[in-house]
Amino acid sequence: MTRDNLGQVYEMKGDLRAAQEMRLRGAADSNIACGNYNCLKLQNNLSDLSRCSVCKAVFYCSRPCQASDWKRHKKYCRQVA
Ligand SMILES: [Zn+2]
Ligand SMILES: [Zn+2]
């Protein structure tokens, strides 16, 4: 199981803070996956990723990827205090 899978597990459990931490840890190793499950792209540069502006816990390789994942992600998305 990769770190990004773990990020997804935390996301589904509603622990967005842990999900974010997992993904950022992946980013530190230049290994962060797109949050869209159907996209296998590994993006190496955090600054190239677009991040969910509400929870800031999921990262996407592109805006279209983010838009197409929203249907899934909106169930889990909320603002993290
Ligand atoms: Zn993507
Ligand atoms: Zn979100």
Which residue is listed with tokens 């159907």? Answer: 38
Cα(51) to ligand 1 centroid in Å equals 11
Cα dihedral value 78, 32, 22, 60, nearest 10: 0
**Is pLDDT above 90 for 74?**
yes
Which residue is listed with tokens 């997992």? Answer: 22
Mean pLDDT throughout 48-59? 90
Cα(44) to ligand 1 centroid in Å equals 12
Q: Which residue has the higher pLDDT, 43 or 22?
A: 22
Identity of residue 5: N
Cα(42) to ligand 1 centroid in Å equals 8
Of the given ranges (6-10, 50-54, 64-68, 75-79), which has the lowest mean pLDDT? 6-10
Confidence band, pLDDT 50/70/90 cuts, at residue 21: confident
End-to-end CA distance of the chain: 28
And the tokens for 23? 């993904």
pLDDT reported for residue 33: 78
Which ligand gives the minimal distance to the CA of 80? Answer: 2
